[in-house]
Every structure is written in C-alpha cells, then in structure tokens.
Amino acid sequence: MKNIKNKKTNSQKVFVGLSGGVDSAVSAALLQKEGFEVTGVFIKAWTPEGYPCTWKEDRRSAMRVAAILDIPFITLDLEKEYKKEVVDYMIAEYKIGRTPNPDVMCNKEIKFGHFLKFALKNGADFVATGHYACKKVVSSKHLASSKNKKTNLEPWLLATNYWLLKEGADPNKDQSYFLWTLNQDQLKHVLFPIGHLQKSEVRKLAGKFGLPQETRKDSQGLCFLGKVDMKEFLSRYMPQKEGKVLNEKGEIIGFHNGALFFTIGERHGFTILQKTAQGSPVYVIAKDIKKNTITVAEKFRSTSDTPQKVILTDVNLSGEIPNKKIQCRVRYRQEKIACRISKENNQISVTFDKPQNGVAPGQSLVLYLPAGKAGDGETCLGGGIIK
C-alpha cells in the first residue's frame, strides 16, 4: 500500500492523538495532506482490573495508521494521571450524590491537559484530535467593525484576536458539549480536522486514504474505558446498601441497591414490586442520599424540586457575559434550552425560561450562542458545573 505524500509544504508540527479509530486516523491523514509535519501519539490510560483490556488492540490499530502514513509514532503513558484526575474524581463525585461527566474531565485533564503540554514541550505547534467540533478565529479588525452592527455573534468578545469553539457540522456527532473547558491558551494550539465533515464523509475518506479503520466500529461509553456498566463499576469503590423506591405519594413500591448510584431521569437499575397499570416505565425524579431513597414517576416531569435557576462553579467563558437570551444544554445531545446567564454576588447563575427536568448537581451546563448566519455552527461559549 502506498504512503500518502504531502501535497504542500508546512513547517508546523502537529501531534495527533491516534486512538485507533477512524476519526483520529482520518484527522492525521488530512493534516499530512495539508503538509503538516505529523506525529501520531497513542495515549495509554488506566484500565480497571477485571475489565476487557482493549488498549493493546487500539494501540496496534493506531500503529497501522502511522505505518500507512509513514509518520513517527509515540506511546504516551498517562495511566496514573487518568486514574487520579478522571476516575478518582468521578468516584468522589458519586460518593457525595453528584452526577459528574468523566468525558468532560478526560478532555480537560488528559487530552488537552497532559497531552497538550507533552506535545508543546516536545516541539509541536498543535495537537489534533478526531473530535466533531470546529474553531474559528475572530480578528481584532473584525471585532472593531462589529461594534456598531446588530449581530448575534462576536461584539461582546474581548477586542483582540480570539478563538471561538463552534459546533461540528454533523449534528448527530457534534462533541462541543464535552469541550466547554477549553480556554484560549488551549484553543490556539488545537486542531479539529474533521469538524466540518459528516461521519459518512469521514469513513469514505478513510477508504480513499487506504486506512483499514474505514470499517472499524466506533468506540462507545466512557472516554478510554469504553462501554462500562456504571453501577457495577462504582460498586467496586462504593458499598451497596439496599434502599426504598417511593412513588410520588411517598409509598414504598420497590427497592434498589443505593441511591448514590442513580441520576435524575434514569429508568433502570431498580426493582418495582408494584407495577403501573399500563406497565409503563418509571423514571427517577428525586433522590435522598441521607435516607437512601429514590422517588420515581411514570412521566419524567416537573416536581417541586425542579429548578428554573442554577448556580455554576468552575466556570469557563469565552469573553464577557452576554446580556441577551442564549441557549444551553445540561446533557449531551439534549435539545437546547433557552436561558440567560448573569453574575450575582460573585456567582455565575443560569436562569432557564422554564423549569427543567433532569438537572442534577455535578452535571456540566454548556452555553451556546445562536449562529450568526446560515451554515455557521453555533458558538460554544463555555460552561460550568452545576452546584
């Protein structure tokens, strides 16, 4: 099989995070085609004992990409960092009844934390990943000309060259939700080579580049860990304790193995002894960690505890707080919610237009500014952790 030859010359160096999948493989090929000096990097993360060990197979797949493209290949061992900063964080959050997002933390601490630092230290100008997201530069000249115009986009940003994180072109694959922690220092060194493409186009390109990942199945589940039964995984670190399942009247209708293991909106993992008349599924609408109870209902709807306003911690925002109605998500691929963001008593708060179900402490709330023109993805303004 012939190696891909550069069509352009480019002195810039990029370290591509090769996971072994099709998205990162095509990312590396596209960058090489553009003339970048590409190095493939496989990140070795922690694997829990007793779970299928897939990292060796993934690494072999990544090495095949490097061999076909004829690029250097590095294995970066971040096992200790991943265990401490992603897994231990996740377990600690669940232990206090919160609902963390380990994929967000993986991007923040591992891919755009330790990996980015490693790359820059070793002479790279950029790191690249197979994320479905885009970035756009806004120049100071553009900002100056926008000050007196009505626009949905950039007037509120700082008056300097600025990087905006944008949604990926494929709405079914967009991963901007998981990237809200990226700041300006990181964004200027990050490339998303496939963000402008549809998933189907990426697979076709893999075939054109002669990459065997064209037909490889996408990985699913947690970042690096894959498809993991969360309750079974957490039960290794958190003792199970039988508790009561209550209906909205407070009546006992079943049991579970620990309120800590559930999140609002969940409808699996507990036992109902008193079935509904229609046999309809029931959803967790509330939980009491101290009493070790969960409350369920047939319809996932508003309760007296359903918030219309939340406080955010660990906030990361691109520029100043916009004084206008914007949108947000509290779950990946959730339909966007109309909201306003404000600062009160040194706290950042978000007020929804309507009370929202499924909002739990520990979740990532990610903010979006509507697109300024047709075909231009919405801007991810950043976000925070729900207090």
> CATH 3.40.50.620 residue ranges in the chain?
13-132+168-215
> CATH 2.40.30.10 residue ranges in the chain?
309-386
> CATH 2.30.30.280 residue ranges in the chain?
239-297
For residues 271 and 244, the answer to whether their CB atoms sit within 8 Å is no
State the amino acid at position 224 in one-letter form.
F
CA distances from 80 to 47, 67, 77 (A): 10, 28, 8
For residues 59 and 76, the answer to whether their CB atoms sit within 8 Å is no
Q: Write a three-state SS string for 127-174.
A: EECCCCEEEEEECHHHHHHHCCCCCCCCCCCCCCCEEEEEECCCCCCC
For residues 59 and 75, the answer to whether their CB atoms sit within 8 Å is yes
- Establish whether 223 is a catalytic residue: yes
pLDDT of residue 110: 97
In the set 106, 134, 328, 339, the catalytic residue is 106
**The token pair that represents 88 in the structure block:** 């231990």
Q: Give the total residue count for the chain.
A: 387
Domain 13-132+168-215 is found in CATH 3.40.50.620: yes
153: left (phi over 0), alpha (psi -120 to 50) or beta: alpha
Alpha helices (runs of H) in the chain, residue ranges in sequence order: 22-33, 55-69, 79-82, 88-95, 102-106, 115-121, 140-146, 184-187, 199-208, 230-234
Please write down the long-range contacts of 275-279, taking CB distance under 8 Å and 24 or more positions apart.
Answer: none
pLDDT of residue 301: 59
pLDDT of residue 82: 95
Please give the average pLDDT of every successive group of 10 residues along the chain, which has 387 residues: 45 95 97 97 89 86 97 97 95 92 96 98 98 86 47 43 90 96 95 97 96 86 70 87 93 93 87 77 89 88 68 90 88 92 90 88 93 69 95
State pTM to two decimals. Answer: 0.86
Superfamily (CATH H level) for 309-386: Translation factors (2.40.30.10)
pLDDT of residue 320: 76
Say how far apart CA 118 and CA 151 lie, in whole Å. 39
In the set 134, 223, 328, 339, the catalytic residue is 223
- Establish whether 53 is a catalytic residue: no
CATH fold of 239-297, please? SH3 type barrels. (2.30.30)
Say how far apart CA 385 and CA 305 lie, in whole Å. 18
